[in-house]
Structure formats: structure tokens, C-alpha cells
Amino acid sequence: MHHELLTIGRFARLTRLSVKQLRHYDEIGLLAPVRVDPATGYRYYAADQARDALTIALLRDLDLPLAVIGETLASGAPDTRAKILRGERDRLAARITRDQGRLRMLSRVAEGLPSYEVTLEREHGRRLAVVRATCAAADVGKAVGECAVRLTGLLGASGVRWQGPLWGLYPLDLEERVSVAVGAEVAGVAGVDGGRPGDERLDSGGLDVEELAGGAVLSTVHSGAYGELPLAYHALFTAVHERGLTARGPVREAYLVGPGDDVAVEEYRTRLVVAVDEEEEEAVA
């Protein structure tokens, strides 16, 4: 067993890692040399450590964090290892999905902004029958879709008539957890009229009533996939501040043309509406 030990430089060349990297891996306990001269601090590696070093290099190429690489190396069981790697694979897949969304938006921004036309209008009050949900910020799309399905199902089952497009309601301040609502405009709901709006619950269960006050709003229409909605919101809120207004939540989205209409995503049309206060120059309450 008198295998000759390698200095850090030779080991680095063998494994295509930099000396800096090897020292770092030693420091964090990922790959310690078999021997460290106590007098000089020189690190000496054994040839069979090249296996782990090459594995580290491979997994780093796949962009795995060093901590995760350490876990996979430490866990001898292949199924534990596979579980960790599957987790990282899913994480990477999620990042790719996010990046693809970003790419679409970036392309759209690069090729001349769609130049949203934001208009100041007077919106009349609406009474909505809504379904609510709370979800993480990343899952809003999914949650809204499910709410829409539940809403139309409940409305259909209870025989309530509604008019116009479906609406989505979103809080002005996005926290970690987002409370979203999907609603449909109803003229009057049995057992609800005259009650305190916002907390009423229809007989069919799961349906609330939300009263949207009328008044001045800024509004714009977005064409295309929902992933590019931030562009429209950017235009909308830019307009809010440029006109010296103040936004009042919740923000409303009217799904003029959407998934229920059986058209291509590019044909979707969504109207964004935000109520605004015309604050005069005087102090605000």
C-alpha cells in the first residue's frame, strides 16, 4: 500500500480542478486530502481520491451546490443518492421553466415594447360571486385556474346567472402567500341581497360575494400569454405614478378571452383594472 501521494498541484492537473477549488473543498470538508503534513500544512492526495474529485467536477458542471454534492458523496445508498439527484433535477427543470418565461418576456421587451395604452375610466360598481384561494406567489396561475373551474361549476350547479367575463382579484401587496379570488358578475343573488357584502356565503358552499365599488380606474388590455402580464402591470403602475394617482387594491383582471374560449394562447386578451384615488396635493389621511 505504498501508493505515492500527490501534491495538490499534480492532483489538480489530474482532476482538472483548480488548486483553489481543492483547498476550498478541503476547507468545507467535501474532499479532504488523505494526509496533511502537520509541520508545513502541505496537502497530499491519494490517487484513488481522483474518483471523488472527478465526481465533484462532474456534478459541479451540472451546477449542483457543493453541499448537495457532499450529501451524494456521503450517502452510500444508491437510492438515497438517486433521491437527492432527482430533487436537483426537478429544481433545475423548474429553473428552466422560469427562464423560458423570462425569455419570452425579454424577447417581447427587446423587440419594441407592445406600448400598452392605459386609460383613465369610470368603472361602475359590480357585485361578484367569488371563489377564494391562498397560494404561494409562484402558484398563482394554477390556483386561479382551479378557482375558475370551481366557480363555474358552483354557479352552474346553483343555477345562478352571471354576465360578462370572469374576474380575478389580487391584493395590491404581494406577500409570500397570496390570497386570490376568481369571480363572476351577478346581478343579484338570492339570500344575499341586503346583507353585508364581502362575507356572505352562498348556499351552494364555497361561493362568497364581493362588492367592487365603482369609481375612477386605470385600465389597460394585455394580449397574449399570462406569463407576460408583468409587462402590462409595469405599464399600468407606471401610469398610476406618472399621473400622480394612488392605487387602491385589489387589482382586478378581466379575462376577456382566455382558456375557456378554446383559442391559441397568443389570442388571449386580459383587461387589467386598478382603482385609483385622485389625491389632491393636500395631506392624506
Partner DNA sequence: CTGGACTCTCCCCCGGTGGGAGAGTCCACG
Partner DNA sequence: CGTGGACTCTCCCACCGGGGGAGAGTCCAG
Chain residues that interact with DNA, rule: CB under 7 A: 7-10, 12, 18-21, 23-24, 37, 39-43, 60, 64-67, 283
Q: Is 36 or 82 the residue whose CB approaches a second copy more closely?
A: 82
Q: Which residues contact 40 (CB under 8 A, 6 or more apart)?
A: none
| Burial letters 176-208, b for 16+ CB under 10 A, else e | eebebbbbbbbeebeebeeeebeebebeeeebb
The Cα 90–Cα 101 span in angstroms is 17
Q: Is 247 or 257 the residue whose CB approaches a second copy more closely?
A: 247
Neighbours of 217 (CB within 10 A): 20
37 binding partner (options a second copy, DNA, none; Cβ < 5 to 8 Å by kind): DNA
Q: Which amino acid is at 168?
A: G
273 binding partner (options a second copy, DNA, none; Cβ < 5 to 8 Å by kind): none
82 binding partner (options DNA, a second copy, none; Cβ < 5 to 8 Å by kind): a second copy
Element (H, E) at 36: strand 35-36
Q: Is 111 or 199 the residue whose CB approaches a second copy more closely?
A: 111
The Cα 260–Cα 152 span in angstroms is 11
First to last CA, the chain: 82
- The dihedral formed by the CA atoms of 122, 124, 125 and 128, expressed in degrees to the nearest 10: -110
- Please give the residue ranges that form the binding site for a second copy (CB under 8 A): 2-4, 13-14, 16, 47-48, 50-51, 54-55, 58, 61-63, 78, 82, 85-86, 88-89, 92-93, 95-96, 99-100, 102-103, 105-107, 109-112, 173-174, 230-231, 234, 237-238, 241-242, 244, 281
Q: Is 39 or 67 the residue whose CB approaches a second copy more closely?
A: 67
Q: Are 240 and 247 in contact (CB under 8 A)?
A: yes
Min dist. Cβ of residue 234 to a second copy (A): 5
Min dist. Cβ of residue 117 to DNA (A): 29
264 binding partner (options DNA, a second copy, none; Cβ < 5 to 8 Å by kind): none
Min dist. Cβ of residue 204 to a second copy (A): 36
Q: Is 71 or 146 the residue whose CB approaches a second copy more closely?
A: 71
Min dist. Cβ of residue 269 to a second copy (A): 21
The Cα 212–Cα 113 span in angstroms is 31
Min dist. Cβ of residue 87 to a second copy (A): 9
Q: Is 40 or 115 the residue whose CB approaches DNA more closely?
A: 40
Q: Is 109 or 187 the residue whose CB approaches DNA more closely?
A: 109
66 binding partner (options a second copy, DNA, none; Cβ < 5 to 8 Å by kind): DNA
| Burial letters 47-74, b for 16+ CB under 10 A, else e | eebbeebeebeebeeeebebeebbebbe
